[in-house]
Amino acid sequence: MSDGTRLQNLPIAFFAMVMGLSGLTLVWQKAGEVIGTPPVIGQGLVFVVAAVFGVLLIAYIAKALRYPEAVRAELDHPVKLSFFPTISISLILLGTALRHLTPTLSLWLWALGSALQLVLTVFIINRWMHHAHFEVVHMNPAWFIPAVGNILVPIAGMTHGYPSISWFFFSIGVVFWIILLTIVFYRVIFHAPLPGRLLPTLFILVAPPAAGFIAYMALVGELDTFGRILVNIGLFLTLLLATQARRFAALDFFLSFWAYSFPLAAMTVALLMYHELTGTPWTLWLGGIMVAATTALIGWLILLTGRAARRGQICVAEG
């Protein structure tokens, strides 16, 4: 297969890898604060994330310039459309990971990512409202991605001193999370099961409440009833999906496996933060286990992705 063909078939979903690696970076940064792990791990991972994001962004811009029809096809796709905000989310997460290391660069990345997130959110919701071919069976948890991006904005936004902007994005994210959660459960209960390649996207259900808890704590600064609700919803959904481990283990590898990564990372950070706020021992133990599990999972995903790339199973035309 030629390099040009691979470029033409480069999926927008590849940016979910950046989200997962960014989540892992935030996990180790929080672990350094709470558990006392070496801070150099979280600091070093930032550069890995930046490098991966830079390579993917250059490649996707090249695809857009050489094969604009391929990009338009992804924009018209009922599933792939929701992955375009992974670009803006990657910028927001990079800005978040850098907020205590290089505040000026963090601010610029956060501002650019937030602006792009707003543009993409408006664009995608307009597409949903005025589509000609989307059906309920096209609905899957990947549709949460635009909402998740808005929820993440306050984490760095409050650090940089923008409470009004932070509340604006958080409000958008929470409202659309609730709307989409209802539709997703209607789809999975009353319609045909999700196809195997989309089954890992069920883990995205964990991301809005877990990331929402982190963002809400940044906004209000103390644990209240709504914060407890968010973290416990995230815990329940994580438990629910853990009981389906055999179902997920039986799947062949798809790039959608990266949907496991960021939600689990967000839940890990939420647990460590919850321990900071409450001092409950079980949250520290569970958070430590989740740090190890998330790290092992993402390492496994990197190995699987590399093997699939060597075998020519990535960046190929869909059959």
Tens digits of per-residue pLDDT, 195-239?
Answer: 888 999 999 999 999 999 999 999 999 999 999 999 999 999 999
Instruction: Name which of 101, 141, 143, 95 is nearest 115 in CA terms.
Output: 95
Is the pLDDT score of 186 beyond 60?
A: yes
Note whether 173 and 208 are within 8 A (CB).
yes
**By CB neighbour count within 10 A (0-12 exposed, 13-18 middle, 19+ buried), where does 127 fall?**
middle
Q: Please choose, from the candidates 116, 127, 210, the residue with its C-alpha nearest in 3D space to the C-alpha of residue 169.
A: 116
Q: What is the model's pLDDT at position 3?
A: 65
**pLDDT score at 33:** 95
Residue 312, pLDDT score: 86
Q: How far apart are CA 241 and CA 249, in angstroms?
A: 12
Confidence class for position 162, pLDDT limits 50, 70, 90: very high
For residue 2, name the pLDDT band (cuts at 50, 70, 90): low
Whole-number pLDDT of residue 293: 96
Q: What is the mean pLDDT of residues 245-270?
A: 94
| Token pair belonging to 105 | 């660069």
The chain-wide mean pLDDT, for the chain, equals: 94
CA distances from 299 to 15, 157, 229, 295, 306 (A): 17, 30, 31, 6, 11
Give me the half-sphere count of Cα atoms (radius 13 Å) on the Cβ side of residue 105.
9
Mean local confidence (pLDDT), 169-178 = 96
Confidence of residue 319 (pLDDT cuts 50, 70, 90): low
Q: How many C-beta atoms surround the C-beta of residue 234 within 10 A?
A: 26
Domain 3-310: what homologous superfamily?
Voltage-dependent anion channel (1.50.10.150)
pLDDT, residue 149, reads: 92
> For the chain, what are the domain ranges?
3-310
pLDDT at 75 over 90: yes
Could you tell me the end-to-end alpha-carbon distance of the chain, in angstroms, rounded to an integer?
A: 15
Tokens of 238: 């994580």
Q: Give the whole-angstrom CA distance, residue 70 versus residue 63.
A: 8
Encode pLDDT of 21-45 as tens digits.
999 999 999 999 999 999 999 999 9
* Per-residue model confidence as pLDDT tens digits over 4-26: 688 999 999 999 999 999 999 99
What is each CA distance from 121 to 17, 117, 169, 176, 200, in whole angstroms? 20, 6, 10, 10, 23
Q: Which alpha helices (H) appear in the chain, and where do they start and end? A: 3-8, 16-34, 39-66, 68-75, 85-97, 103-129, 145-159, 163-190, 207-220, 225-242, 245-249, 261-278, 281-310
For the whole prediction, is pTM greater than 0.75? Answer: yes
